[in-house]
Amino acid sequence: MLRTGLGRDLHRLVKGRRFLLAGVELPAQRGELAHSDGDVLAHAVCDAILGAAALGDIGSLFPPPDPAWKDADSMALLRSVFGMAKQSGWTLVNLDCVVCCEEPKVAPFRDSIRQSLAQALEVSVDRIFVKGKTGEGLGPVGKGRAVEALAVCLLEKE
């Protein structure tokens, strides 16, 4: 059986916060504002996997008001989400992601981000891809006030 999943997330960008994509810190003037560490890509990937496996969504599994998730390591959340999917018999066929922000540029960090995701999802790096896009100066992403991530995955079960 094959199942697709889609995830999307957005965080405000503010000064004094780290800019994290799948656990990789990119040098940037502003970082993601969130109750957790704000890792927008990790969150989108969590929702893609949870959606494909019909196991819930990140907001219900890790509710933001819960103090347990304050400054939470989102890659630990992703590993726990993938563990749940694995327990239901799912493995990852592939994952494709888009990160939208004006800065920093994602491309120089693409391979580190792919490696980090491949490690968390227990697959080889050739099954993971990540692209960076800008907002063309339009909307909150284009004005540099937010970063958005989209993820689509394919899960397989015997």
Work out the number of other CB atoms within 10 angstroms of the CB of residue 52.
23
Residue 47 makes contact with Zn ion by CB under 5 A:
no
Q: For residue 128, what are the CA distances in angstroms to 36, 57, 62, 124, 143?
A: 24, 21, 25, 8, 29
Of 22, 27, 13, the closest CA to residue 77 belongs to: 22
CB of 50 to Zn ion, least distance (A): 13
Judged by CB under 5 A, the residue of 30, 43, 110, 114 near Zn ion is 43
Q: Which two tokens stand for residue 113?
A: 């981000």
The piece of 2-10, 12-20, 76-84, 110-118 that touches Zn ion (CB under 5 A) is 2-10
**Nearer to Zn ion (CB atom), residue 121 or residue 146:** 146
Q: Which two tokens stand for residue 77?
A: 């959340």
Q: Which 10-39 residues touch Zn ion, going by CB under 5 A?
A: none
Give me the residue whose beta carbon is nearest to Zn ion. 43
CB of 34 to Zn ion, least distance (A): 6
DSSP label at residue 41: H
**Nearer to Zn ion (CB atom), residue 17 or residue 127:** 17
- Enumerate binding residues for Zn ion (CB under 5 A): 9, 43
